[in-house]
A and B are shown apart, each in its own frame.
Chain A
Amino acid sequence: MDKMPGWADAVLVPLISILLAALVSSLVILAIGESPIDAFGSMVEGALASSAGWGYTLYYATNFMFTGLAVSVAFHARLFNIGGEGQAMLGGLGVALMCLFIPWPHWSLAVIGSGLAAAAFGALWALIPAYLQAKRGSHIVITTIMFNFIAASLLNYVLVNMLRPDGAMEPSSGVFPPATQLPTFQDMFSTTDMVLFQRAPANVSFFIAVAACFVVWLLLWRTRLGYDIRSFGHNERAAKYAGINGVRITIIAMLISGALAGMMAVNSTQGEAERLLLNSSEGAGFIGIAVALMGRNHPLGVFLAALLFGFLYQGGAEVSFWTNIPVQIVIVMQALVILFTGALDNMVRTPLERVFLAFRRKEG
Chain B
Amino acid sequence: MTLMQKFLGATATLALTAGAAFAEPALIYDLGGKFDKSFNEAAFNGAQQFAEATGGSFRDIELQSEAQREQALRRFAERGMNPVVTTGFSMSTPIANVAADYPDTKFVTIDGFVDPGAHPNVLSILFSEHEGSYLVGMMAAMASDSGTVGFIGGMDIPLIRRFACGYAQGVKAVNGDATVISNMTGTTPSAWNDPVKGSELTLAQISQGADVVYAAAGGTGIGVLQTAADQNILSVGVDSNQNYMQPGSVLTSMLKRVDVAVFESMSAGADLETGVKVLGLAEEGVGYSLDEYNASLVSDEMKAAVDAARASIISGDIAVHNYTTDDSCPVLDF
Contact = CB atoms under 8 A, between A and B. Distances in A.
B17 interface: no
Contacts of B55: none
Interface string A193-204: 000000101000
B65 A327 contact: no
Contacts of B75: 321
A192 B324 CA distance: 47
Interface in A162-205: 167, 169-172, 175, 199, 201
B66 A170 contact: no
B188 A152 contact: yes
Interface string A325-344: 01100110000000000000
B67 A170 contact: no
A147 interface: no
A59 B159 contact: no
B41 interface: no
Given A316-B64, A320-B61, A320-B62, A160 B74 contact: no
Given A320-B61, A321-B59, A326-B62, A272 B67 contact: yes
B68 interface: yes
B65 A282 contact: yes
A317 B68 contact: yes
Contacts of A320: 61-62, 64
B188 A280 contact: no
Nearest to A199: B74
Contacts of B93: 170, 172, 175, 275
Contacts of B71: 56, 201, 317
Contacts of B101: 199
Contact of B64 (A56, A277, A280, A327): A327
A279 interface: yes
**3 closest pairs, A vs B, by CB?**
A327-B62, A169-B89, A169-B157
Interface string B156-167: 011100000000
A209 interface: no
Interface of A: 56, 59-60, 152, 156-157, 160, 167, 169-172, 175, 199, 201, 268, 272-273, 275, 277-280, 282-283, 313, 316-317, 320-322, 326-327, 330-331
A313 B65 contact: yes
A337 B67 CA distance: 22
A167 B92 CA distance: 14
A278 B59 CA distance: 28
A156 B188 contact: yes
B49 interface: no
Given A170-B89, A199-B74, A278-B188, 8 more contacts: A56-B67, A170-B90, A279-B189, A282-B67, A283-B65, A313-B65, A326-B62, A327-B63
Interface string B67-90: 110111011100000000000011
Contact of A171 (B62, B63, B158, B187): B187
A127 to B, nearest CB: 25
Given A169-B157, A321-B72, A321-B75, A282 B187 contact: no
30 contacts: A59-B67, A152-B188, A156-B188, A157-B187, A160-B187, A170-B89, A170-B90, A171-B187, A171-B188, A172-B93, A175-B93, A199-B101, A201-B67, A268-B66, A272-B66, A272-B67, A273-B67, A275-B93, A277-B66, A278-B189, A279-B189, A282-B65, A313-B65, A316-B64, A320-B64, A321-B59, A321-B72, A327-B61, A327-B64, A330-B64
B223 to A, nearest CB: 21
A358 to B, nearest CB: 43
Nearest to A164: B157
A34 to B, nearest CB: 15
Contact of B66 (A157, A280, A322, A326): A280
Contacts of A278: 188-189
Interface string B276-298: 00000000000000000000000
Contacts of B327: 167
Nearest to B158: A169
A169 B74 contact: no
Interface in B146-183: 157-159
A136 B71 CA distance: 46
A169 B188 contact: no
A331 B324 CA distance: 38
Contact of A321 (B61, B157, B324): B61
Nearest to A46: B75
Nearest to A152: B188
A272 to B, nearest CB: 6
Contacts of A199: 74, 101
Given A167-B158, A199-B101, A331 B90 contact: no
A89 B267 CA distance: 42
A279 B158 CA distance: 20
Nearest to A277: B66
Nearest to B112: A169
A156 B155 CA distance: 12
A147 B95 CA distance: 34
Contacts of B324: 167
B188 A331 contact: no
Contacts of A167: 158, 324, 327
Candidate in B61, B64, B187 with the most chain A CB atoms within 10 angstroms: B64
A316 B63 CA distance: 11
Contacts of A330: 64
Candidate in B76, B89, B157, B158 with the most chain A CB atoms within 10 angstroms: B157
Contacts of B157: 169-170
A331 B61 contact: no
Interface in B167-209: 187-189
